[in-house]
């Protein structure tokens, strides 16, 4: 597949964050990490040279893969010829309607498996987190630092809004660390594969309010939760203190000290008090 890039004089485009993987063992490991089998519909984001796409197609029921760089079209048509269960879409997936994507699978359940360009990692996760209805899991290669933030524990420096937002609706784990020399061209940082498996772990009364609570709680990390809640929900000092006391939170606590369950309790309490 690397030969096809050379034959077509393909130039890697920094704008699209292109770092491709060609190691067959690593590609197979990613497919296994995602639990792909003959019953699995797969959405891939960032087809690249089609190396992961081909491995996925050998195991999956169907693969729909999105690629933004039209210069890769002749290479992909060559590299993926014969893969009857693959549909290549040359579009920016961030601009694609989720309903359109899900209709490609006949509105059946599907998983995301991708070697994501670093610059779209967070937008992609939250696009599907907020809008998808049939998504079972996301298994993605991301910057190691981002993976550590997604899977962080509370009371650690990596813990933040992205951690809480994802872990409130999913179980997350880093399945493997991938050194930078596994990519062509080689990036400046190491990567990690993260598995995000969606499930109903918590009783969240109002999901939109929960998201707002999380966002406001980490709005200014140096400020206490008390001050962030006062600013975010226009609470008086007395009301904010009563709220924290009712949940047995210390008045000087900061957002990073709260577990996901603590945030659920906080948002549910605000919902009971009429906040939206």
Q: What is the CATH number of the domain that holds 261?
A: 1.10.8.100
Output the pLDDT for position 4: 53
Say if residue 20 is in the same domain as residue 87. Answer: yes
Question: Is the whole model's pTM more than 0.85, yes or no?
Answer: yes
| Distance set, CA 206 to CA 59, 212, 245, 259, 271 (Å) | 38, 10, 22, 18, 7
Residue 2: what pLDDT?
A: 54
| Co-location of 126 and 258 in the same domain | no
The residue ranges of the chain whose pLDDT is under 50 are none
228 in the same domain as 98: no
- Integer CA distances (angstroms), 186 to 76, 116, 180, 231, in order: 21, 14, 6, 44
Token pair, residue 144, equals 């190691």
**Each residue of 131-180: pLDDT tens digit?**
999 999 999 999 999 999 999 999 999 999 999 999 999 999 999 999 99
Q: So what's the pLDDT on residue 3?
A: 56
- Give residue-wise pLDDT tens across range 14-42: 655 667 788 999 999 999 999 999 999 99
Domain boundary among 141, 171, 198: 198
Task: Mark whether 194 and 216 lie in a shared domain.
Answer: no
Looking at the structure, tell me whether residues 33 and 165 fall in a common domain.
yes
What are the structure tokens assigned to 120, written together? 């779209």
Same domain, 233 and 118: no
Q: Which class for 176: exposed (0-12), middle (13-18), buried (19 or more C-beta within 10 A)?
A: middle
**Is cis: bond before 43, omega within 30 of 0?**
no
CATH number of the domain bearing residue 94: 3.40.50.150
Residue ending a domain, among 198, 227, 247, is: 198
**157 shares a domain with 109:** yes
- The residue out of 169, 198, 227 marking a domain boundary is 198
Give pLDDT, residue 27: 95
Is the same domain home to 62 and 177? yes
Identify whether residues 101 and 194 lie together within a single domain. Answer: yes
Q: How many domains does the chain have?
A: 2
Per-residue model confidence (pLDDT) at position 185: 78
Cα–Cα distance, 52 to 28 (Å, whole number)? 8
- How high is the pLDDT of residue 183? 83
Range of the domain at 252: 207-272
- Asked if residue 142 and residue 35 are part of one domain, the reply reads yes
158 and 74 in a single domain? The answer is: yes
Claim to verify: residue 158 and residue 232 sit in the same structural domain: no
């Amino acid at each position: 597949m690397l030969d096809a890039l050379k034959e077509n004089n393909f130039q890697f485009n920094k704008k699209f964050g292109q770092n491709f993987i060609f190691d067959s063992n690593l590609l197979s490991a990613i497919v296994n990490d995602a639990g792909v089998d003959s019953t699995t519909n797969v959405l891939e984001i960032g087809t690249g040279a089609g190396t992961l796409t081909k491995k996925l197609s050998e195991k999956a029921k169907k693969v729909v893969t999105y690629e933004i760089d039209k210069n890769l079209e002749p290479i992909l048509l060559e590299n993926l010829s014969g893969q009857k269960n693959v549909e290549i879409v040359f579009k920016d997936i961030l601009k694609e309607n989720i309903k359109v994507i899900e209709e490609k699978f006949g509105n059946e359940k599907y998983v995301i498996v991708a070697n994501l360009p670093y610059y779209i990692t967070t937008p992609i996760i939250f696009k599907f987190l907020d809008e998808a209805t049939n998504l079972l899991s996301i298994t993605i290669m991301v910057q190691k630092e981002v993976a550590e933030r997604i899977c962080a524990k509370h009371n650690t420096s990596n813990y933040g809004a992205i951690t809480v937002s994802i872990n409130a609706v999913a179980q997350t784990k880093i399945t493997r660390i991938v050194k930078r020399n596994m990519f062509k061209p080689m990036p400046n940082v190491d990567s990690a594969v993260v598995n995000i498996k969606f499930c109903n772990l918590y009783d969240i009364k109002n999901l939109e309010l929960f998201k707002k609570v999380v966002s406001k709680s980490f709005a200014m990390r140096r400020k206490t939760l008390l001050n962030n809640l006062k600013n975010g929900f226009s609470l008086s000092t007395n009301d904010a203190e009563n709220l924290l006391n009712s949940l047995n939170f210390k008045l000087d606590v900061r957002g990073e000290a709260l577990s996901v369950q603590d945030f659920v309790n906080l948002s549910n309490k605000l919902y009971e008090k009429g906040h939206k």
